[in-house]
Amino acid sequence: MTDLQAVASTCHYLGFCALKTADQAAWASAIGSIAAAVTALGIAVSGGIVHQVQRKADGRALAAYLATDLYTVYQTLEKAIAYIESFLDTGDGLLKNDLFAFAASINGDLAGTVLESKVDQYGKLPFGIGEELAGAVGSLEACRRAISGFAGNVRSTKPKDWAEFCRPILEQLRQTKGNLEHAKDYCRSVGGDR
């Protein structure tokens, strides 16, 4: 410490000592308030970091939990799309006999999935994933109705009108499948390839 620094330090100390007791108390209170604010900020920041780490862990656990069910629903939609496309491509009247069994099987696989029971927790998933998944799960009911409509109404539709009749059904199924794609890939990467 140089002589000039020593003199300055002494002057600050003497200046503080020259203050009235009330002024010294005000200074001490101000320093204490600053210290308390810094401590509170440190606690808040560390609490926020802990919360973020916990939320990320919760999101990864949810993704791992949903992975199998999500993949199953995705495959079921693929199966439904392939069946309807095959029906249209072949124009096979024999497939008409299997329509109700097909619809019952597909709708059974799409009904009561874990995905629907966990929608309130999708906020734990990374940004974008939860929203996409919620949208896709929200449209599963529309997919079930579309498949039932296909099975129930195609029998009364003339073969020449099948393509027109099936177009909106296929669009609904493809859109839902597309919405599931990103979430499926993320959940499988977290939960492992099942």
13-40 per-position pLDDT tens digit: 556 566 677 777 777 777 777 766 667 6
| Residues 6+ away with beta carbon under 8 Å from 47 | none
What is the total residue count of the chain? 194
Q: What single-letter DSSP state applies at residue 126?
A: P
Report helix, strand or coil for 65.
Answer: helix
Which residue's entry shows tokens 């079921």?
A: 76
Structure confidence at residue 158 (pLDDT) = 81
At 174, the pLDDT band (50, 70, 90 cuts) reads: very high
What percentage of residues in the chain have a pLDDT greater than 90? 10
**Between 117 and 43, where is the model more confident?**
117
Q: What are the pLDDT digits (tens) for 60-109?
A: 888 888 888 888 999 999 999 998 888 888 766 656 667 888 888 888 88
- How many Cα atoms within 13 Å fall on the side-chain side of residue 138? 9
Identify the CATH class of 66-191.
mainly alpha
Q: Domain extents for the chain? A: 66-191
Q: Is 12 exposed, middle or buried (0-12, 13-18, 19+ CB in 10 A)?
A: exposed
Q: Are 96 and 154 a contacting pair, CB within 8 Å?
A: yes
